[in-house]
Amino acid sequence: MILETLSNVVLIIGLFFVFLAMLGLARLPDVYNRLHTTTKIGTLGAFGVMLSILLKVGFSPMGVKALTVALFILVTSPVAAHMISRAAHRHGVGLCKESVIDEYGRACSAACPEPEEE
């Protein structure tokens, strides 16, 4: 009984965080800030929902597979975020106008100054 209540609480927290991640995806200004929400909040939301299914069914095949999906999302989501943010920066997507500092762009243009001259 107490396990079921705990599982329902974790489920509601996870669903709320997933919804918040999608809201941030629509509201924040540029690619890098959107990656913040989908990487951090979306990952924890999916992890919470899968953990609640594990709490509901115990270590049956369904629970173990839910744990596998949760761990897989937790491991691969930062790697995907790193790949897509580096590709975006090299592709030429600039930062939003509120940004205050960009040391990576400075380092890139110091290493290969040809595109700056043209």
Residues 52-71 that bind other proteins (CB under 8 A): 53, 56-57, 59-62, 64-69
Distances (CA, A) of 28 to 36, 44, 53, 94, 99: 10, 19, 31, 15, 13
Give the span between the Cα atoms of 9 and 12, in whole angstroms: 5
Nearer to other proteins, 2 or 80 (CB): 80
Ramachandran angles phi, psi of 33, nearest 5°:
-70, -35
Write out the two tokens for 90.
């090299």
Interface with other proteins in residues 66-95 (CB under 8 A): 66-69, 72-73, 75-76, 78-91, 93, 95
According to the binding rule CB under 8 A, does residue 114 interact with other proteins? no
Interface with other proteins in residues 13-52 (CB under 8 A): 14-15, 17-46, 49-50
Nearer to other proteins, 61 or 115 (CB): 61
Q: Which of 101, 114, 115, 118 binds other proteins (CB under 8 A)?
A: 101
Give the span between the Cα atoms of 27 and 16, in whole angstroms: 16
Beta carbon of residue 118, minimum distance to other proteins (angstroms, whole number): 18
Which residue, chain included where needed, has tokens 């929400």? Answer: 37
Beta carbon of residue 67, minimum distance to other proteins (angstroms, whole number): 7
Contact 73, 46 (CB under 8 A): yes
